[in-house]
Structures are given as structure tokens and as C-alpha cells.
């Protein structure tokens, strides 16, 4: 069963940090180099100093970015830049944001969750991960012994009883509130009522948890747990390294938004790619229709391409391919290909995924980009914004772009329940869970209910 426990959260001391927006950041994996520099300049206590430590000339095994991040974190603790709650709590986390002209409020629960191997079927992944990224995160966690960024996970609750329980014990005012650098509103409510804590923990126990975002961090926590077991072989089963920090939200929440991570390709394998040859090979699997570019404004072009992506509720697989001077084509999978080619190669749940079709038919069979090549950021990058993809093509930072429709939430559930794994970056749950609002110090005191 899933063990979701209240904990004594760690957070920025409001006496020392008057404006939380100056110190919190998005997760490390969506921060671009220019943004990293901007965050670092924004405030000396900005979280980017901990989650993306700078490498310096002369770094070695004993003195490097990871060890410096650990020393900095301990210094901030000693100086009470971070403070810890006196008693265990669940943290109801509300995020208010605009998307496509509508105002949303997503409710999440920050808590500690006992680590479970994926094979146990209690906590399930849905995406492949990048090995190099996991090695980087593991070294950082070995040194800092802290959870800086909550892992975004989902729990199924069609009746909404868990949120109702939390709302019933919610204080009238949040203890933390801020607007982040993207204009999103965050409110955290500390819930300490013992009856509520027990009821929520009991309600979550029989449910599966699905990782929405943070697969790298979860697998890193499993690796850290294994490593710390060798360091402390007689540690209690309730030792803090057996848990990780999660942000949990309802799988059936209508305020849950998924964007798509569009693909940007470049690299030596595409250097001599010819348009005519590529279109000829695509025609074996897709109905290929040119899309006319009206005008030179990238934003207008982006909106036009978004309209061409729209399948109007039909269960079709449609991509937009852009390249060769910002020319675009609408690629619609031939249903005969799904039934004849894909049915022999993959589970039906994967064959229904646009991104799995793209990876197998185009990246693998046509472009010869295997998993290792796709794992390399020199070959494949991602963006959720079509205009950014077009700008990268225009500036020569990419050779081709493939624009996709978002993966649907029911597809995430079906893939995870089938014990399958989606390709990398199949989903972009929006907005990301911010880093720095609530943390967990693994070496701090852990109290279990």
C-alpha cells in the first residue's frame, strides 16, 4: 500500500526572505542557461544555487559543484534562512494560473511518500528517463541529503474525498503565498489536525500513485536509498531516506492541464537530409499535406500550425513537421499502418500514443535515431511552445521540428496500469511544481503517523 506521511516541512524564513518570488524557481530540467544566470543574480538565496551548482575549473572529487551546494545548504540551515515546522503536517498547495483564456486552480498535497520499487505496482512511472541526468541528480542528493523539488504525482479519486478532507481542516489563511516569475499564484496551507491527517493517510493507502513529472528524481531517490542502506545497514525501516517528497494531485481533477513537449532535431545524422527523400519515405506511413505559411510573423504562424494540429475530437494521430526554411507539412497516420505495422510492434496503448508513433516510424525507421541518439541533447531538444520551436529553426539551432498534440490523461493512466513506459517527454503537466516553496531535509527529524 502507499504510505503518504505528514512531515515537518522546511521553507524559507519569512523574516529573512520578504519576497518568495525572488528565491523560488521552476524545476532544474526546464531552466535554460540564460534563465539560470538570471535566477542566480536575482537573489543570493535563490534555489538555483542549490539545484544547479556551478562547475569551476579545478573541480575534483572532493571539491566540486555538488559539495559546494551541500556546504551552502548547511550554511543556510545554520543561518536560519530555512526554518522547519514544529509538528508534522500535510501542506495543501493551491496554484492559480491562466491557460488558453481560462483561469485554473490546481490543488496539490505536499507530503512524504515511502519509496517503492516500480515492480511493486504501488508507484508507477509512465516515461523513460535519461541516464546522464539521473547520475547528476544522484551525486547532488548524495552530497546535500535533501529533497529540494517535490516529485509531481497523481492519485485516483473520482469522488474527490481526499481534497474534501483537506479543505475541511484548512486554515482560513495560507502560511505562504507568492506570485512566481511566470505570474502564477501559489498558496500553501499547513494542515495539522490529527483526525484529518489520519483520514487522508488512510484514504490514500489503497491507491496507486502515478508519477506525472519527476521520474528522474524518483529513480534517483531509489538509487540514493540503495546507497544509504549500504552506509547504514542497521537503519530503521522508518529511516528518512526510505521516503521522498511528493506533490500529489487528483488524477480526475478537471483543473489538470497537459501540454505537449514538441521535438527539435539537429546533429550530424540530419546534416545531409534531403527534403524530397524524406517526404517520399514519410508517404509510406502518413498522408502528407503541405501547410502554407501566411506572412512572416512567427506568432501568427504558430497559431496557424496549432489549428492544423487540431484533430477536432477524433482519435487520429497527427503531427506537424517543420523544416527546410520553415516549410510545414501536416502528417496524418494512415489507419492501415496502425493496424498492420504498429499492431505487430507495440502494445495497443502505445500504438494510440502520437509520440510513440513518431518515435518508432519517423525517428527510428526513417531517420535512424535510436534511443541513445535521442538521449543526447545535441540531437534532440524539447519545447512546449510552438513559437520557440520556429525560432530555433529560423536561427539554425534545429534542422527539423515535430509538433504534437498533448497526451491525454486517460492515456497516461492506461500506459502506467499496463506496466508500459512512454517515450521520453511524452507529457508536460502544466504548470510545473515550483522548487523552493517546501523542502525536506533527509537528515532532519522525521515523524511518522
H-type alpha helices, 88-130: none
Distances (CA, A) of 237 to 117, 225, 234: 15, 11, 9
Between CA 321 and CA 263 the distance in angstroms is: 10
Task: Give me the pLDDT at residue 258, please.
Answer: 93
Task: Give me the pLDDT at residue 196, please.
Answer: 98
Task: Give me the pLDDT at residue 448, please.
Answer: 46
> Are 146 and 436 spatial neighbours (Cβ–Cβ below 8 Å)?
no
Class for domain 261-405, per CATH?
Answer: alpha beta
Q: What residues are paired with 244 via a beta bridge?
A: 113
C-alpha cell at 389: 520551436
Distances (CA, A) of 244 to 15, 138, 415, 428: 28, 13, 24, 21
Phi then psi for 69, rounded to 5 degrees? -65, -40
> Are 262 and 401 spatial neighbours (Cβ–Cβ below 8 Å)?
yes
Task: Give me the pLDDT at residue 295, please.
Answer: 66
Between CA 61 and CA 39 the distance in angstroms is: 27
Task: Give me the pLDDT at residue 294, please.
Answer: 67
Q: Residues 406-423: pLDDT tens digits? A: 998 888 888 878 888 888
Ordered DSSP codes for 41-57: HH-TT-THHHHSPPP-T
Task: Give me the pLDDT at residue 238, please.
Answer: 87
Task: Give me the pLDDT at residue 130, please.
Answer: 64
The strand ranges marked E within 115-234 are 123-124, 146-147, 151-155, 176-179, 185-191, 209-213
Q: Residues 369-392: pLDDT tens digits? A: 987 888 788 899 999 999 999 999
Task: Give me the pLDDT at residue 41, please.
Answer: 96
Task: Give me the pLDDT at residue 383, please.
Answer: 93
Question: What residue segments make up the domains of the chain, in order of their start?
Answer: 4-257+431-441, 261-405
C-alpha cell at 133: 541526468
Those residues of the chain that have pLDDT short of 70 are: 129-133, 294-295, 312-314, 444-449
Task: Give me the pLDDT at residue 135, please.
Answer: 86
320 conformational bin, left if phi > 0, alpha if psi -120 to 50, beta if neither? beta
Amino acid at each position: 500500500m502507499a504510505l503518504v506521511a505528514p512531515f515537518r516541512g522546511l521553507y524559507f524564513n519569512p523574516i529573512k526572505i520578504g519576497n518568495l518570488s525572488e528565491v523560488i524557481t521552476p524545476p532544474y530540467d526546464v531552466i535554460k542557461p540564460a534563465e539560470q544566470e538570471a535566477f542566480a543574480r536575482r537573489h543570493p538565496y535563490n534555489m538555483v544555487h542549490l539545484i544547479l551548482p556551478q562547475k569551476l575549473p579545478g573541480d575534483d572529487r572532493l571539491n566540486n559543484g555538488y559539495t559546494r551546494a551541500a556546504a551552502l545548504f548547511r550554511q543556510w540551515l545554520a543561518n536560519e534562512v530555512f526554518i522547519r515546522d514544529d509538528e508534522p503536517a500535510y501542506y495543501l498547495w493551491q496554484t492559480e494560473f491562466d491557460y488558453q483564456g481560462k483561469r485554473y486552480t490546481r490543488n496539490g498535497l505536499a507530503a512524504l511518500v515511502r519509496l517503492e520499487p516500480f515492480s511493486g505496482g504501488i508507484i508507477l512511472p509512465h516515461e523513460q528517463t535519461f541516464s546522464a541526468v539521473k547520475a547528476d541528480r544522484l551525486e547532488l542528493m548524495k552530497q546535500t541529503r535533501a529533497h529540494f523539488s517535490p516529485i509531481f504525482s497523481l492519485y485516483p479519486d473520482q469522488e474527490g474525498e481526499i481534497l474534501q478532507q483537506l479543505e475541511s481542516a484548512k486554515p482560513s489563511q495560507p502560511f505562504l503565498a507568492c506570485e512566481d516569475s511566470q505570474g502564477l499564484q501559489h498558496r500553501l496551507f499547513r494542515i495539522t489536525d490529527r483526525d484529518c491527517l489520519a483520514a487522508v493517510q488512510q484514504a490514500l493507502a489503497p491507491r496507486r500513485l502515478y508519477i506525472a513529472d519527476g521520474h528522474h528524481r524518483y529513480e534517483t531517490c531509489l538509487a540514493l536509498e540503495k546507497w544509504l542502506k549500504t552506509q547504514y545497514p542497521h537503519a530503521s525501516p522508518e529511516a528518512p531516506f526510505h521516503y521522498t517528497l511528493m506533490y500529489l494531485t487528483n488524477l480526475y481533477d478537471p483543473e489538470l492541464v497537459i501540454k505537449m513537449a514538441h521535438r527539435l532535431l539537429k546533429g550530424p545524422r540530419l546534416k545531409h537530409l534531403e527534403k524530397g527523400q524524406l517526404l517520399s519515405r514519410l508517404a509510406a506511413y502518413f498522408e502528407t499535406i503541405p501547410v502554407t505559411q501566411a506572412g512572416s510573423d512567427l506568432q501568427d504562424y504558430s497559431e496557424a500550425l496549432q489549428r492544423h494540429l487540431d484533430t477536432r475530437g477524433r482519435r487520429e494521430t497527427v503531427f506537424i513537421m517543420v523544416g527546410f526554411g520553415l516549410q510545414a507539412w501536416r502528417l496524418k497516420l494512415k489507419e492501415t499502418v496502425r493496424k498492420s505495422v504498429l499492431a505487430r510492434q507495440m502494445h495497443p496503448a502505445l500504438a494510440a500514443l502520437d509520440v510513440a508513433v513518431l518515435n518508432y516510424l519517423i525517428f527510428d525507421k526513417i531517420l535512424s535515431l535510436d534511443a541513445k541518439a535521442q538521449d543526447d541533447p545535441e540531437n534532440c531538444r524539447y519545447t512546449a511552445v510552438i513559437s520557440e520551436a520556429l525560432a530555433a529553426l529560423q536561427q539554425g539551432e534545429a534542422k527539423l521540428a515535430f509538433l504534437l498534440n498533448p497526451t491525454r490523461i486517460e492515456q497516461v493512466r492506461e500506459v502506467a496500469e499496463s506496466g508500459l513506459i512512454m517515450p521520453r517527454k511524452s507529457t508536460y503537466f502544466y504548470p510545473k511544481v515550483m522548487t523552493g516553496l517546501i523542502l525536506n531535509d533527509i537528515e532532519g527529524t522525521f515523524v511518522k503517523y
